[in-house]
Amino acid sequence: MQEMPNSIIPLLEVMKTLDASDLHMKTGITPTYRIGGHLRKTDMPVIAPDSRLIEELMSEIIPENRKHIYEERGSLDFAHMLPDGDRFRVNILRAGGHMHAAIRRVKAIIPNFEELHLPPIYRKLAEETNEGLILCCGVTGCGKSTTMAAMVDYINETKHVHIISIEDPVEYSFKPKQSIISQREIGLDLETFADGLRAAVREDPDVIFVGELRDKETVLAALQAAETGHVVFGTLHTADTMQSLTRMLEFFPREQHDFIRSALANGIKAVTAQRLLPAIDPKILRVPATEVLLAEMVVKEKIREGEENDLPAIISGSKHAGMHNFTVSLAELVEKDLVYLDTAMQFAPNREQLMGHVRGIKATAQTLVHRVKRTDGG
């Protein structure tokens, strides 16, 4: 059995070796890593329920000027960076009178679209969008922050613009390339997302990246920025594209819904959602199944009229090259041998529809083979 270190740093450093995405520190269990989407316990002693070990280890990296927030509220988010550039998004919380910690490793290098196995529409949105709101949705740990970072960094590489990010905490550290970048952190540079957004529109931005749309003030400020000619990227904790629109409305009293629907219809550019699946290739570990809603005229009209229930059918029946639902994405992942069919079935919103798409892809491939053979005289 390994000895428990007297510093949190060795536990963070080994995450690179293990390619672990998360570290969980809780009383009653041994330190536990998430590797390839699965929790793996370490061969270390269990942290005793009456121990203050976690408090002692975490005190090394908690910012001094923010410790009072944890004492007052019982939770705190912050970032920590190792000398090698690896960054960590840290959440500490009080449970049963003791500190628990969930620590996510954010790799120093921002991956590109190909490395993330994202469909071409993501690059197209980053290339062609000059104004409007682009949302990336998904549950915690689905990689939406990394997807947003890839889109923002692509703009950074290819456009001469001013980018402002407002994050809690800052995860990826953007290095200015073609663009100018200002990264602001909640609790360090400003108090709230809404404050940052309101200030940002007076700072001559072209692109604004909001770490999370978590309250009505932030949603309203993001919509106003999008309507006034800015590109606004943001994330939401929802399972799919339709739920994201519903979630934003839920922040507001019912008497304001018509106004918010109108603002959404005017400002929305695209809503994307994703879920991470275990990949066949152990070098890849996980790949995203995606859903993309593009703000075509019919989509804007449905949002304005409160007919969001029609959106899944519109996505499914769209002829636009980039708009697709999770079922189509899962079928493509199976076709490309990125995930096993039984894995895709576990994540499928509708298993029968997924099987229909998979059979359709195979039938199309067989038809193409026959045509090639006839052309070759086979």
The domains located in the chain, with CATH, are 9-106 (3.30.450.90), 113-267+291-311 (3.40.50.300)
In this prediction, residue 372 carries a pLDDT of: 42
Q: Which residue has the higher pLDDT, 51 or 345?
A: 345
Residues 298, 278: Cα–Cα separation, whole Å: 35
pLDDT tens digits for range 270-306 = 999 999 999 999 888 899 999 999 999 999 999 999 9
pLDDT band at 363 (very low <50, low <70, confident <90, very high): low
pLDDT bucket at 87, cuts 50 / 70 / 90? confident
**DSSP annotation of 337:** T
What angle separates helix 216-227 from helix 193-200, to the nearest 10 degrees? 20
How far apart CA 188 and CA 195 sit, in angstroms, is 13
> What radius of gyration, in Å, describes the C-alpha atoms of the chain?
23
Query: Strands (DSSP E) along the chain, which ranges?
Result: 20-25, 32-35, 38-41, 75-81, 87-95, 98-106, 132-137, 162-167, 180-185, 207-210, 231-236, 268-278, 286-294
Nearest 5°: phi and psi at 223?
Answer: -65, -40
**Least confident window among 232-236, 332-336, 365-369:** 365-369
List pLDDT tens digits, range 154-174.
Answer: 999 999 999 999 998 888 889
The pTM (predicted TM-score) of the whole model is 0.83
Contact 222, 133 (CB under 8 A): yes
**Mean of pLDDT values over 266-272:** 96
Q: Give the lowest-confidence range in 31-35, 205-209, 361-365.
A: 361-365
Q: How far apart are CA 68 and CA 72, in angstroms?
A: 6
Residues 196-200, mean pLDDT to the nearest whole number: 92
Cα separation, 154 vs 115, whole angstroms: 13
Checking if the pLDDT of 376 tops 80, the result is: no
With a CB cutoff of 8 Å and minimum separation 6, the contacts of 328 are 357
Tens of pLDDT along 241-262?
A: 999 999 999 999 999 999 999 9
Average of per-residue pLDDT values in the chain = 91
Given a cut of 90, whether residue 187 has pLDDT beyond it is no
DSSP annotation string for 64-84: GGGHHHHHHHSEEEEEEE-TT
Which pair of structure tokens corresponds to residue 165?
């990010």
Q: CA triplet 140, 141, 144: central angle to 5 degrees?
A: 85
The stretch 319-326 carries a mean pLDDT of: 90
375: burial class by Cβ within 10 Å (0-12, 13-18, 19+)? exposed
Model confidence pLDDT, tens digit, residues 106-142: 877 899 999 999 999 999 999 998 999 999 999 988 9
pLDDT at position 377: 54
> Rounded mean pLDDT of 37-66?
93
How far is residue 19's CA from residue 107's CA, in Å, rounded to a whole number?
Answer: 10
Q: Mean per-residue pLDDT for 221-240?
A: 94
Residue 16 has pLDDT above 50, yes or no: yes
**Structure confidence at residue 366 (pLDDT):** 47
User: So what's the pLDDT on residue 140?
Assistant: 85
pLDDT surpasses 80 at 80: yes
pLDDT > 90 fraction of the chain, expressed in percent and rounded: 79
Using the predicted structure, report yes or no on whether residue 373 has a pLDDT greater than 50. no
